[in-house]
A and B are shown apart, each in its own frame.
Chain A
Amino acid sequence: MLMIILALDALDLKQVERFNCHHLLQTEYGETSLTGFKQERTVVLWASFLTGKNLEASIPVETQWTYRVHSEKTFLPYFTTHKTIDVPAFSFNQKAHVEERGLLKGVFDETVTIEAYDAVVWRNHEKNKEAFLKTIGHFDLVMGYFNLADAIGHLSFGINDKLAVVYEELDRIAEAVKDSNDLLFIISDHGMKAIGRYGDHSRNGFYSFNQEMGLHHPKITSFHMLLRRLAENEYATS
């Protein structure tokens, strides 16, 4: 069995249901809890997801984007071979995200149009998607991170048609990597809520598995141990 983790920044359960993304809504799905976290910072939440520990206090906001966790502190080494694509706090593509954040600021400063910003976000997304899809099947664990819902959502969460296109795209990715022999785990760091046309982080993330796991409103830090056990059981019986 292979495991695929689809890490989707800001994926929100209400929107997944609203847009009827049935590939994202798998056998078991629900919301995750951010209890214990003061803020919904992307890097903090993904670092905490990878390590199973709340790292909020040890990741200053000023230097968060360059923060990296050591592989041995994550669940990744429990898989014989693994590959991560653009995962925050681990294999984040600095150049692409610096460009996106620069353009985001430009939109607020009115030096960049939202359309120009969106174009770069989509371009980076397509590159990541290509790399992710190529990697599937070659490693025991593949974890691909996509920030489309977060990056587009911050400026356009309240624009229904635009958000629908984003969720359709993420649903297509889930469809493309679905295989009944593999374990597909979809996880977001936080959800999103509308502030007029804009989108703000909400306190509940999303998770889904294509198998029953029996989880109930898990914390984002709870998955570390679950993934370790899944990996250990898999290799113990193979």
Chain B
Amino acid sequence: MDKDLQDLEKKSIAIIREAKAQFKNPAILWSTGKDSTTTIWLCKKAFFGDIPFPVIHIDTGRKFPTMYAFRDKIAAEWGFNLLIAKNESALNQGMAPEKGRLDCCTDLKTEALKDLLQERKFDALFLAIRRDEHAIRAKERYYSPRDNDFNWNYADQPAELWNLYVKPSEDFSHMRVHPILHWTERDVWQYLQQENLPINPLYYAKDGMRYRSLGCMPCTVPIPSTASTVDDIIQELETSKTPERAGRTQDKEKAYMMQKLRALGYM
């Protein structure tokens, strides 16, 4: 095993085990993308094959058919407890990106997850975010407390000195735990290759285009690429000057600004 990847894996597994020991009722989010698939694999490794908590997939009803097929295949093969979070009521009322991308994301993702969290009383959620993905994610910590409205106060986060991840004593709704926060996009691809993990075919180039980041079908666009193998993708990343989430139309900065302007009364 590559020494750098071994170090990354070791730290991630330590975080996963630590969180499992600290929280009574954790769960992990899985989009079927490369990062969350890597993270559930790390959970399997951390607990010697079985993931001792549920795996949550947020179903917006608008994901690529390939993502649903990949989800069902891997869930069956890896044998974990898959929970689907879906806001049926918003979907029945016709919620769609045309009604406002932020509103659509809020209803179909955030509200769906909130409902499931409330129902199952999860106190910690493992998420596969990475610091190099986005400027806002670079501010994240491994342990990131959220309040009842899922608000994250990045200016007031617990210190994480000497690799100690401490549950704050103040009230919080649930803890977000980020085991691969320190990984890069390239690390993830190298790890997927090393571990021979299943990869959603949407990542591979077809007719000169491939998806670099997976989201909902109406809000995700492919990038020009000829990378049709993991080796090609790793090579492509060496020279790429495009941000990873450039293909996501609902970017986080825009969403943050819209929420802030609403809070300030502009909209």
- On A, residues with C-beta under 8 Å from B are 39-43, 61-62, 64-65, 101, 104-105, 108-110, 154, 195-198, 200-201
Residues of A within 8 Å of B131, CB to CB, are none
Known contacts A61-B265, A101-B266, A101-B267, A197 near B253 by CB under 8 Å:
yes
Does the CB pair B263–A104 fall under 8 Å?
Answer: no
- For the complex formed, measure the closest distance between the CB of A105 and the CB atoms of chain B, giving whole angstroms: 5
Q: Which of B102, B260, B267 is in CB contact (< 8 Å) with A104?
A: B267
Does the CB pair A108–B267 fall under 8 Å?
Answer: yes
* Residue of B251, B258, B263 ringed by the most chain A CB atoms within 10 A: B258
Q: Which of A62, A64, A196, A200 is in CB contact (< 8 Å) with B260?
A: A200
Known A198-B256, A198-B257; 11 more pairs at CB < 8 Å? A43-B265, A62-B265, A64-B265, A104-B261, A109-B100, A154-B261, A195-B135, A195-B260, A198-B253, A200-B257, A201-B260
CA distance A154 to B253 in the complex (A): 12
Q: Chain B: which residue is nearest A199 at the CB level? A: B257
Q: Which of A42, A43, A195 is in CB contact (< 8 Å) with B256?
A: A195
CA distance A104 to B267 in the complex (A): 8
Considering the complex of A and B, which 9 residue pairs feature the smallest CB-CB distances, nearest first? A196-B253, A198-B257, A61-B265, A105-B267, A108-B258, A195-B253, A64-B265, A109-B100, A41-B264
Interface range on chain B: under 10, 10 to 19, 20 to 34, or 35 or more?
A: 10 to 19
* In the complex, chain B residues 17-60 whose Cβ is within 8 Å of any chain A Cβ: none
- On B, residues with C-beta under 8 Å from A are 100-102, 135-136, 251, 253-254, 256-258, 260-261, 263-267
Q: Chain A: which residue is nearest B251 at the CB level? A: A196
CA distance A104 to B253 in the complex (A): 15
- For the complex formed, measure the closest distance between the CB of A106 and the CB atoms of chain B, giving whole angstroms: 10
Q: What are 22 A-B interface contacts by the 8 Å CB criterion? A: A39-B263, A41-B264, A41-B265, A42-B264, A43-B265, A61-B264, A62-B265, A64-B265, A101-B266, A101-B267, A105-B267, A108-B257, A108-B267, A109-B100, A109-B101, A110-B101, A154-B266, A195-B253, A195-B260, A196-B251, A198-B257, A200-B260
